[in-house]
Structure 1
């Protein structure tokens, strides 16, 4: 499998935003559930424990990573079923992540949901590694929503690094 990188990088006053978009033939409520319910997040990024809600902190275990690291995930904003923003600090840095979900209102498009994922980066160069990583995780997420095959990380990194280097050059 050779997935095509889709992320784009936009410079901001404080760094850059890494933006990836996925579209699903599924109702927004179902996509939201796959994004926020621990038993469903366990299938694509890892389970979490704690009491969820804006202003709260849950504990996330990333099961697709070596050694399955666990860390605190601060829920900055949560407006179901359309917006989630979280922050996590670990040995690799600060992860400021945001997801927006929208469901098409066009006639005949019932149940088509667009997911816009944003990583707010202080250091734009982080996109070289985090871009391929989020492509992989979002494709894992898609496999949970659609029932499709689970991707292999080896198809994403280092194969997609050049795309993100081009994004860095183009956004400079």
Structure 2
């Protein structure tokens, strides 16, 4: 079994996920980790796939969907890596008036304490005259919630944003 990272981008419309996943199924692929979402007026898919056939068969299986829906596809073979052992134990929520530098300043502070971002979602909302930026980050904080709260606290004033930090309960089975 081989693995590849599949990236798909297209103008948002119904049927993209169905067309791509049906093509992968027809090519005997299995979908692993995946993120599929609308970004602006576009729909994006990023996923790790397992495939048994040769790489060209996967590309050929995707081709009809790509042409029919005018999608841009990038498929990269990747080495199979062991699954990451850390899991999200902290959720950071950020919101405020949209301005350049919010993502850069928050993620720089998080990186400085070894915070591993597992998922980051953001959205620009509000109205054109008063846009609001909302970002939710889930990740692994080696030293826990209090260290993350402390490192982000100064950004509330310097960036003029609201930040909340909550623990994520993890259950070991």
Compare relative contact order (CA 8 Å, sep 6+) and give the higher one, 1 or 2: 1
* TM-score > 0.5 by shorter chain: no
* Structure number, greater radius of gyration: 2
TM-score, normalisation: structure 2: 0.32
